[in-house]
Amino acid sequence: MNFAEVGMAMLKLLMVDDEQWVRERFSERIPWSDAGFTFLGAASGAEEAIRMIERDMPHLLLTDITMPNMNGLELAGYVRKRWPKIRIVILTAYSEFEYAQQAIGLGVDNYLIKLAQTPEQILDACRKVAEEIEQEMDIDQKLEMRRKLEWEKEWSRKREWTEQLVDEAGNVPVRTIPGEWFDGLEHTSYTAGLTIGWSAAVGSMQEELSKEELIQLQKQVSEVLEERLDQRTIGEGCQMVMLPIQQSRLHMLFGSRQPLNIFHMNQLALIVLETLKVFKLMRCFIHVSPIRELGKQPLTGKQIAAALCEGLDGLAAYFYNSESAIINKQAIAFRLLDAELNREWISSVVKALQRENAEGFQESVSVMTKLYDPPIHPVDLLRLTRQMFQPELVKLPSSVIKRLSGIDRLETWADYCGWWAETTHAIHEWMNNRFHPPAALRREVQLMCRYIREHYKEDVQASELSELIQMHPSYAGQMFKQEVGENISEYLNRVRMEKAGELLERTTMKIYEVSGAVGISDYRYFCKLFKSSTGYTPTQYKNKQV
């Protein structure tokens, strides 16, 4: 039996890099399954990587070298000592021999210059590691991997099926219900359900889990519950199926030919809460659905869809009242949002961001934390919040873009208000630092910013800046955008427009003279750029100062 037969996709891979754009590139653009790996996620530093390994140990670790606090070589040494079976590949922007020599001394499996490698070359390096792992495995290990692979495939099919059910509001033919999942439930007389939700505690590492990591956590929650809730626990004659919903929800559908007991369902909810305490720093909450009698009619896709939607709506009540982790009914009547009012709110926020008006932004978003009474359905509230930040219309800083991914993970009103407070603070900081990059930037980026400000009159090229900091041009450009929030040419033009504004205000220079003084020979292009930056033509701006 070779490794391909048992499914190489079950090998687990974790990467570590402190650059967000690198993490996104490796997580989204490389088909890891082609090399036989499941991508567990990307850690932003060594400490986070260690916590992730403690939760789910990978077969292969890809790590950058240059990171704050503990660098990649130190992490490799720590992992090699604590988890000697984990294979390690170093990915770095540096090609110095001393780094490679240290990596070899630590016993890493490969050393790659990340921007010099194509995705296929990176996958080839990982395939070689997979082949070495295969040779070390015995038959029992390979059989266990095959079992896990089949479970993973079935779980993915369940996810797709439940998403289709919810999206289509149950308009799925009865024949589409997979009999292997609902064996014993198809002709049940009574049904009930527990819909389970969870979220990371505020400030915990789990708040920043990627989509892949959230799905992996959902699988782990399911496995723990299936192991705990045996036949004796759920009751004789009762059947159960576990269905994944979204990224952090599970629906446990129970069916029986005998009447079900609501007291027993509440007891099961308590058992679930107690069982899930093994996941530290995670808050869990459960909606207990009413017991329904089906009679002699077979269970249909529409009935399952209704149960899923009922459970999701039931969990929505927890958003505004998180004092009790068990919700027996939806006691909240949610109000609908006015479409015209929504457009006005979104428009005012977008305009404030485009004009970099901190006061206007604060005034526009202040209404969002006052929508508590009467409450809005959390799904509608979070959708409206996402629509207020539109990267295609506004150049948002990475600190804010990163926060947008967390909107759908807000599970309580307190979390929501806290999110707005932190996001507003990040927006204000961004606006205050637009023309004066903070000292917290990486040293290489500070050098590039300083060089641009000193040489803005010249034809500054990215190749000059990359040579200045001795980095690959592509890597230097990506790092600059990640740190500053705009690319090199955008920053150069912003500095030029800043200087042009000063000259128009403080001198009697003609507009074409100002254009040349800031390094732009094309007068028409200068006028277009200036208006795009300030909202005024150079003439209007100059007359405004008089």
Query: Could you read off the pLDDT of 206-244 as tens digits, one per residue?
Result: 456 667 778 888 888 998 998 888 888 888 888 899 999
For the domain 443-545, what is the CATH superfamily, name and number? Answer: Homeodomain-like (1.10.10.60)
Q: Report the sign of the C-alpha dihedral through residues 418, 419, 420, 423, in that order.
A: positive
Pairing of strands 87-92, 110-113: parallel
Class of domain 3-137: alpha beta
Q: Quick one: pLDDT band at residue 98, thresholds 50, 70, 90?
A: low
- Out of 2.40.10.10, 3.30.70.270, 3.40.50.12640, 1.10.260.40, select the CATH number for domain 152-327: 3.30.70.270
pLDDT band at 270 (very low <50, low <70, confident <90, very high): very high
4 has a pLDDT exceeding 50: no
At residue 486 the predicted structure's pLDDT band, cuts being 50, 70 and 90, is confident
The per-residue pLDDT for 289 is 92
Render 234-274 in DSSP notation, one character per residue: H-TTEEEEEEEETTTEEEEEEEESSPP-HHHHHHHHHHHHH
What does residue 56 show for φ and ψ, rounded to 5 degrees? Answer: -155, 100
pLDDT at 7 over 50: no
Task: Report pLDDT for 2.
Answer: 36
| Amino acid letter, 127 | R
Per-residue model confidence (pLDDT) at position 472: 84
Output the pLDDT for position 50. 92
Task: Check: CB of residue 14 under 8 Å from CB of residue 40.
Answer: yes
- The identity of residue 132, as a single letter, is E
- The pLDDT value given to residue 265: 92
**For the chain, domain boundaries:** 3-137, 152-327, 339-432, 443-545
The reply to whether domains 152-327 and 443-545 share a CATH topology is: no
Backbone angles phi, psi at 242, to 5 degrees: -100, 125
Measure the CA–CA gap between 70 and 541, rounded to whole angstroms: 50
- Please report which confidence band the pLDDT of residue 169 belongs to, taking 50, 70 and 90 as the band edges: low
Amino acid at site 220: Q
